[in-house]
Amino acid sequence: MSWKMDAAAYLEQHDVEPALTSAIKGALVAKTGNPLADIQKLLQVTIDAMRFGTGQDLQGTFLVIGSSKGIGLELVKLAKAADLTVYGTCRKASPELTAVGINIIEGIELSDDNCGDKLKAALNGVRLDTVVFNAALGDADGGTENSLIGKGIETQTIDSLSIDNMRKMMEVNAFGLLKIAKAILPSITTNSGRLCTVGTVASSFTLTLDGPNSSGEFAPLLAYRTSKVAAHMITQTLAGLLKKQGIAVSVIHPGVGASDLSTAGIAPDGKPTIPQGMEGVMKWPFELAKGVMLAIKNTTLQTTGSFLDGQYGEACVSQPW
């Protein structure tokens, strides 16, 4: 009897979740060169479908750190449309953010040591049900000319990297998260609150070693990846600490996006310029935000500590750390 028949017989004889059984059988009969990898992938997708198929609707107060443009701007729009009480922080409000009609907290510069205390004072005792840390720099200066693909590919290799620029990115992407969290964690609602960090699969240890992020022109990005790894670890550590308080925590991969953080600049029409060859691959911020929002809804105590991917609003799956 072949190993395929043995496996199928075992599944028939044991009380295995039917959905998992179906996934494994599908891989067993598939004609591929790597059936074990197929089984692993199908199992993960099936398990994710069961774990993340019951996302809870959001309610109460919704705070986005970094909301003046890109994903953050689209998130506050979605939250506003869901009739939540919405707060958004920024260094300086954009006209687009002002037009949304939310509670805007300006002057929050994450590189400042007092940014957390400043935010806490501005909130003035408001209880927070969902906090999303979205702010990040793609390269040291944070401008469109210094985005990940605009300049980051060139300036973040082992040969070209500036330690001073990397230090600035760590200050915002990692230490900024820590300063904000330290200040406002006592304000997050216990037993139902959420804390989510917008991360990236580019900082997955697994995918950096073996996967689409392990080679090619987008492989370097040493400063960005390192700063986001630190942000991931801060978030993951908080997940363990906050679970006993009933606060669910996640890191969320938004997908491949066309924003000024990631692309080559801004076109005259105000939209990010998509690099040649990336057309159809990069999604616009409103599409990314749909996926992030779905992942936020699937951030529960049962999934806390997960690295989630909202698949542009189509499904919620996990990503490897």
State pLDDT tens for residues 56-67: 789 999 999 999
**Residue % of the chain over a pLDDT of 70:** 70
Cα separation of 123 and 50, whole Å? 37
Cα separation of 197 and 176, whole Å? 12
pLDDT above 90: residue 177: yes
pLDDT at res. 303: 92
**Region 85-103 average pLDDT:** 97
Q: Find residue 250's DSSP bridge partners.
A: 196, 306
11's enclosing H/E stretch is: helix 3-13
Of 54-58, 101-105, 143-147, 209-213, the least confident: 143-147
pLDDT at res. 163: 87
**Region 289-293 average pLDDT:** 96
Q: Which residue has the higher pLDDT, 91 or 38?
A: 91
CB 226 within 8 A of CB 166: yes
pLDDT at res. 283: 81
pLDDT above 90: residue 27: no
**Region 21-35 average pLDDT:** 64
pLDDT above 60: residue 300: yes
Residue 129 is classified by DSSP as S
- Return the ∠ at Cα 241 (arms to 236 and 244), rounded to 5°: 125
What are the residues whose beta carbons fall under 8 Å from the beta carbon of 299, sequence distance 6 or more? 194, 196, 248, 249, 250, 252, 306, 308
φ, ψ for residue 189 (rounded to 5)? -60, 125
Of 35-49, 61-75, 165-179, 297-311, the least confident: 35-49
**Residue % of the chain over a pLDDT of 90:** 52
Helical spans, DSSP H, in 18-111: 18-29, 35-51, 70-81, 95-100
CB 148 within 8 A of CB 224: yes
Nearest partner of 178 among 87, 127, 116, 95, judged by Cα:
116
Q: Find residue 307's DSSP bridge partners.
A: 251
Cα separation of 17 and 182, whole Å? 41
pLDDT above 90: residue 309: yes
pTM above 0.85, yes or no: no
CB 72 within 8 A of CB 43: no
Q: Which residue has the higher pLDDT, 196 or 31?
A: 196
What are the residues whose beta carbons fall under 8 Å from the beta carbon of 73, sequence distance 6 or more? 67, 94, 96, 97, 100, 285
Confidence of residue 143 (pLDDT cuts 50, 70, 90): very low
The dihedral through the CA atoms of 298, 245, 229, 117 has a sign that is positive
pLDDT above 90: residue 114: yes
pLDDT above 50: residue 146: no
Question: What domains are there in the chain, each with its CATH number?
Answer: 3-51 (no CATH), 61-318 (3.40.50.720)
Give me the half-sphere count of Cα atoms (radius 13 Å) on the Cβ side of residue 35.
12
Confidence of residue 144 (pLDDT cuts 50, 70, 90): very low
Residue owning tokens 């009480």: 85
CB 85 within 8 A of CB 123: no
**Region 85-106 average pLDDT:** 97
Cα separation of 88 and 97, whole Å? 9
Of 23-37, 140-154, 183-197, the least confident: 140-154
Please provide the average confidence, as pLDDT, over all residues in the chain: 82
Q: Which residue has the higher pLDDT, 218 or 299?
A: 299
